[in-house]
Chains A and B, each alone.
Chain A
């Protein structure tokens, strides 16, 4: 498992006078479902295309299973790609499309036939052999593209936003299916997407990319629970960020003073010697209380006024203007309050509370602009 399948060392790709990919160093393990996640133009597709051999890096090194492939053309790499638009050959049948790679490698006819049949069964399209790409739906084309790549048993499968063209329901279904297929074939997947939920659902590890670099690399849980930059905190889910100054300690916690002198507790390790920091808290980890409710002593508290209420079924989303002047987003599961008919209303005074352990801290280094 720990064997390294793909290694990028200090890879740079320049287009004109900007770095599309800016000094990326990355190891992808054998059998891993690895995602490159980021907004459009962050360099994720360019990175993928360099691994596939469709672009040559301006500088740096790309290794595939220990072999330097930096200058190897794509047809000599043991890597296959599922293209964003599927790129099925319109003049060939589904069978001929899927068999294309095996034929080029001179695999015997009988073996090609049986492997195509097996592969079409794996992607749940048996009996589609004789159809043409213009006779199947988008979801089916997506499976054919997957089959056409996987049949070659590549060391690594590259997927460039393969679900982008599908509708939401089909996309969810394909996410589960892709994960199943990946487990079944045991091939390393490198998956490019701008959809954070998709990346979280499927990936073992995710590199969150922004402006040609990745800002943080880790499993979905660590990225969500402990984002290290403002960008990651904002790109994966919703975050409330409260800027403040580290001001002493209490009961083993570091204290952070906000603009209105409210003091928040955070785990001491998170302060990490910084003075100006931003404390982050996820909306579902904040509790809504009335100003008179009893609140555990260790919890952080923040008073405010409800400015917006959106009932979305599974939860209710509140926007609360806190006393420190920062609007906070809170998600509350619809359990008691809906049955009691006691949802908060716009204008209600509330006291927000959350446990210090649930906070995270993002670096104060201005690597990215907010809302980017």
Chain B
């Protein structure tokens, strides 16, 4: 495995400048990315770790004491918020999958010449600010907003004092809406790659439509399902905008805590510790999840 594509004869003076450049090409190509990661990810992460084991206050300054106090505080005081994050993120991921899979399937297999247009529609909301869209949801879900007044006053499906804003339902609905495209796009890519002849082959071998779906379509869509759920679940876990705008005091997620510790209370060590715990939890969850889906299927 040589980096150069053509065999080159080394002259009496050794490899030429050209040859040396050729050998270095892969590293040169990787360099900007590695540099970027180093400066903007590895170093800040390290810095954050140091912060998480420091003590002090914003006024008196923080000192690196390698104290575990911030971690103890994080793990003992914020159980409900961690739980909310898991619950809302998990529910929203399930919902985006339930809504997104039929959409991706239809576009991939029945889209025909409308495929690109339909995909555009899926992405279209991104053209508006995330914040604006979430605030619009607030307007929609307010007690005298169109959704509730229709369900409550017109259809009488809900009791007169029904309210959604400030409840977990509103937060989950908001997260589901905001992350739906992150579910649909990877699912679409995976489903679109499936050769329709494989479905025919399954039918030919006595699998009904449902059987072919279960034994061929789903297993072949697994990489997309994995990517879609990860891309939805991880950002949803750390999200705080939906809980801030659509939720109430009881629907605080861990993102809200981190945000307030950092920006409002100036308690950097606890905010950093919380972030680290969240990151560790996500890493563990993702690896368990990948194992459960079968890593072999995911890679090849």
The yes or no answer to A169 lying at the interface (CB within 8 A) is no
Cα distance, A91 to B216, chains bound together (Å) = 8
Determine if B207 is an interface residue (Cβ-Cβ < 8 Å): yes
Give the residue name and chain of the B residue nearest to A91 (CB): B219
CB–CB A75/B207 < 8 A: yes
Asked if B203 is at the interface (CB within 8 A of a chain A CB), the reply is yes
Main secondary structure of the interface of B (DSSP, over half): helix
Q: Are A81 and B219 in contact (CB under 8 A)?
A: no
8 Å CB interface, B201-215 against A: 201-208, 211, 215
Give the distance to chain B from A111, nearest Cβ to Cβ, in Å.
16
B220 touching A74, Cβ below 8 Å: no
Bits for A306-345, please: 1 = Cβ < 8 Å to B, else 0.
0000000000000000000000000000000000000000
Which residues of the partner chain A approach B200 to less than 8 Å between Cβ atoms? 54, 74, 81, 83, 87
Cβ–Cβ contact A100 & B205, under 8 A: yes
Q: Per a CB cutoff under 8 Å, which of B198, B207, B220 touches A104?
A: B207
B207 CB contacts on chain A under 8 angstroms: 75, 100, 104
Residues of A within 8 A of B211 (CB): 75, 104
Residues of B in contact, count (CB < 8 Å): 19
CA distance A282 to B219 in the complex (A): 55
Q: Is B110 an interface residue (CB 8 A)?
A: no
B219: chain A residues at CB < 8 Å are: 91
- A101 CB to nearest chain B CB (Å): 4
CB-CB under 8 A for A101 and B206, given A83-B197, A91-B220, A134-B300 = yes
| A74 contacts B198, C-beta separation under 8 Å | no
Q: Output the nearest chain B residue to A49 by Cβ-Cβ distance.
A: B200
Does B297 interact with chain A (Cβ within 8 Å)? yes
- Asked if A252 is at the interface of the complex by the 8 Å CB criterion, the answer is no
Interfacial chain B residues near A91, Cβ < 8 Å: 216, 219-220, 297
Q: Is the CB of B205 within 8 A of A101?
A: yes
When distances are taken between beta carbons in the complex, the residues of chain B under 8 Å from A52 are 204
Question: From B200, which residue of chain A is reached at the shortest CB distance?
Answer: A54
Alpha-carbon separation in the docked complex, A53 to B207 (Å): 13
B195 at the interface (CB under 8 A from A): yes
Contacts of A211 in B (CB 8 A): none
Within the complex, what minimum Cβ distance (angstroms) separates B112 from chain A? 14
Query: Within A64-118, which residues are at the interface with B (CB < 8 Å)?
Result: 73-76, 79-81, 83, 85, 87-91, 100-101, 104-105
List A31-54 residues whose CB lies under 8 Å from chain B: 52-54
Once the chains bind, are B198 and A87 in contact (CB under 8 Å)?
yes
Whether B206 contacts A81 by the Cβ 8 Å rule is no
Q: How far is the CA of A88 from the CA of B204 in the complex (A)?
A: 12
Interface status of A194 (Cβ within 8 A of chain B): no
Contacts of A85 in B (CB 8 A): 195, 197
CB neighbours of B297 from chain A (8 A)? 91
Q: Encode A115-152 as 1/0 by CB contact (under 8 A) with B.
A: 00000000000000000001000000000000011001
Q: Which residues B198-247 have CB closer than 8 A to chain A?
A: 198, 200-208, 211, 215-216, 219-220
Residues of B near A89 (CB, < 8 A) are: 198, 201-202, 216
Determine whether the beta carbon of B220 is less than 8 Å from that of A90: yes
A89–B195 Cα distance when bound, in Å, is 10
Q: How far is the CB of A358 from chain B (nearest CB, A)?
A: 45
- The minimal Cβ–Cβ distance linking A5 to chain B, given in whole angstroms, is 17
Please tell me if the beta carbons of A87 and B220 are within 8 angstroms of each other in the complex. no
Q: A87-B197, A89-B198, A104-B211 are in contact. Are A81 and B204 (CB under 8 A)?
A: yes
Determine the chain B residues whose CB is within 8 A of the CB of A101 once the complex forms: 205-206
Please report the C-alpha to C-alpha distance between residue A73 and residue B206 in the assembled complex, in whole angstroms: 10
Complex contacts, A104 vs chain B, CB 8 Å = 205-207, 211
Given contacts A91-B219, A91-B297, A104-B211, A83 and B203 within 8 Å (CB-CB): no
CA distance A53 to B198 in the complex (A): 15
Given A85-B195, A89-B198, A91-B297, check contact A80 B204 (CB 8 Å). yes
- Cα A66 to Cα B130 with chains together (Å): 64
The answer to whether B204 touches A75, judged by C-beta atoms less than 8 angstroms apart, is: yes
User: Of all chain A residues, which has the CB nearest B195?
Assistant: A87
User: Across the interface, do A100 and B195 meet the contact criterion of CB distance under 8 Å?
Assistant: no
Q: Are A75 and B206 in contact (CB under 8 A)?
A: yes
**Residue in B197, B198, B208, B220 whose beta carbon sits within 8 Å of that of A75 in the complex:** B208
Q: Which residues of B contact A80 (CB under 8 A)?
A: 204-205
* Interface residues as binary, B12-47 with A (CB distance below 8 Å gives 1, 0 otherwise): 000000000000000000000000000000000000
Name the distance in Å between B218's Cβ and chain A's nearest Cβ: 10
Q: Which residue of A lies closest to B204 (CB)?
A: A81
User: Whole-angstrom distance from the CB of A112 to the nearest CB of chain B?
Assistant: 13
Q: Which residues of B contact A81 (CB under 8 A)?
A: 200-201, 204
Docked pose: A14 CA to B188 CA in angstroms: 31
Name which residue of chain B comes closest to A54, CB basis. Answer: B200
Say yes or no: A105-B197 contact (C-beta < 8 A), given A91-B219, A91-B297, A134-B300. no
Q: Which residues of B sit under 8 angstroms from A83, Cβ to Cβ? A: 197, 200-201
What's the Cα separation between A152 and B204 when bound, in Å? 11
Contact with A along B169-207 (1 / 0, CB 8 A): 000000000000000000000000001011011111111
Residues of B within 8 A of A134 (CB): 300
Give the distance in Å from the alpha carbon of A105 to the alpha carbon of B211 in the complex: 12
Q: Which residue among B195, B197, B204, B211 has the maximum number of chain A CB atoms within 10 Å of its CB?
A: B204
Chain A contacts for B205, CB-based, 8 A: 75, 80, 100-101, 104, 148-149, 152
* Least CB separation from A145: chain B residue: B201
Docked Cα-Cα span, A74 to B206, in Å, equals 7
Tell me the smallest distance from the CB of B145 to a CB of chain A, in Å: 46
> Would you call B195 and A74 a contact (CB within 8 A)?
no
Pick 12 A–B contacts, CB within 8 A, sort by A: A75-B204, A76-B206, A87-B195, A87-B197, A87-B201, A89-B202, A91-B216, A100-B205, A101-B206, A104-B205, A149-B205, A152-B206
Chain B residues within 8 Å of A, Cβ to Cβ: 195, 197-198, 200-208, 211, 215-216, 219-220, 297, 300
* Closest 9 pairs between A and B when the two form their complex, measured CB to CB: A101-B205, A104-B206, A87-B201, A87-B197, A74-B203, A91-B219, A100-B205, A81-B204, A75-B203
Excluding A75-B206, A87-B197, A152-B205, 7 further A-B contacts by CB distance (< 8 Å) are A54-B203, A75-B204, A75-B207, A81-B201, A87-B195, A87-B200, A100-B202
